[in-house]
Amino acid sequence: MLETFTRYAEAAGAKVQVARDAAAAAALLAVEPPGVLRCSAAVCAAYPELCAVWRQAGGPVEIVEEIAERAESPSALAATLAGGTGVVLAYAGVAETGSVLLADDALAPRLLSMLADVCVILLPAAAIVPDLDAAAQVLAQLELAGHRYVSFVTGPSRTADIERVLTIGVQGPRVLQVIVLAPPEEEGP
C-alpha cells in the first residue's frame, strides 16, 4: 500500500519520503535549521525526538496551541501562522488517492495545515488504508471519538481560477510533504 500511496500522492504534487523513525524524519523536513518549525502539540507528544533533533540542530520549535493562547484574535493567529513550515499529524493515508486524513478540533493546528507555505504531514505507515471505503471506517471512528473537523488533503493547494492559469499555493500550502514513518521491515521503494 505504501507504494500505491506514494505513486498517487506524488502524481498530485506531494513530496513523499519514508523515515525509519521520528529522528530520521527531522532530517527530511523541507526547511533547513535554524528555521522556525511550527508544530501542533500532538506532534511533539507523539514524536518528541523529532522536536528534540530539530532543537539540537539549532532550530526553534513553536507549539501552535501556545501561539494561539497569546493571539489577540483568530485573524491575528492566522497572520502569525501564515508562511513558514508547519508539521501536523495524519490519522490515515488513502492508497488509492494519495490523500491524507487530518482531524483536529483545535483552531491552531487546522490553520497551520492550511496557512503554512510548507505543510509537513507525519503519517505512520500502519495508518495507510487501501481505499476510500476503508477511510470511511476511519471517519466513523473519528466521529465516535468526537472529532468534528476532518479533511482529506491531496497534494498542495492549486487553482486555475485566474485566467485558467494553474497556480500553486494560493489557497493553502505551496508544498505538501508527507513523511511516512515506517520501521525498516515496513519500508517500501
Q: What pLDDT is attached to residue 146?
A: 87
pLDDT attached to residue 20: 92
Residues 101/152, Cβ–Cβ less than 8 Å: yes
Domain encompassing residue 46: 2-182
What is residue 13's DSSP assignment?
T
Q: Is residue 171 part of a domain?
A: yes
Domain for residue 188, yes or no? no
Residue 18 lies in a domain: yes
Pairwise CA distance, residues 74 & 76, whole Å: 5
Residue 151 has pLDDT above 60, yes or no: yes
Question: Residue 68 pLDDT > 80, yes or no?
Answer: yes
Instruction: Indicate which CATH number applies to the domain containing 178.
Output: 3.40.50.10420
Question: Is 187 domain-assigned?
Answer: no
pLDDT of res. 174: 79
Is 176 within a domain? yes
pLDDT at 30: 58
Whether 168 has a pLDDT exceeding 90, the answer reads no
pLDDT at 187: 47
For the chain, where are the alpha helices, taking DSSP H only? 2-11, 22-28, 41-46, 48-56, 64-70, 74-81, 107-115, 132-144
In a domain, 103, yes or no: yes
Residue 4 pLDDT level (bands cut at 50, 70, 90): very high
In a domain, 116, yes or no: yes
How many domains is the chain partitioned into structurally?
1
Going by C-alpha positions, the residue among 6, 16, 46 that lies closest to residue 121 is: 16
Question: Average pLDDT for residues 62-85, to the nearest whole number?
Answer: 87
The answer to the question of residue 189 being in a domain is no
Label residue 56 by pLDDT band (50, 70, 90). Answer: confident
Report strand pairing: 99-103 vs 92-94: antiparallel
pLDDT at 140 over 90: yes
What average pLDDT does this structure show over 18-44? 82
Burial of 56 from C-beta contacts in 10 A (0-12 / 13-18 / 19+):
exposed
No. of helices (H) and no. of strands (E), the chain: 8, 12
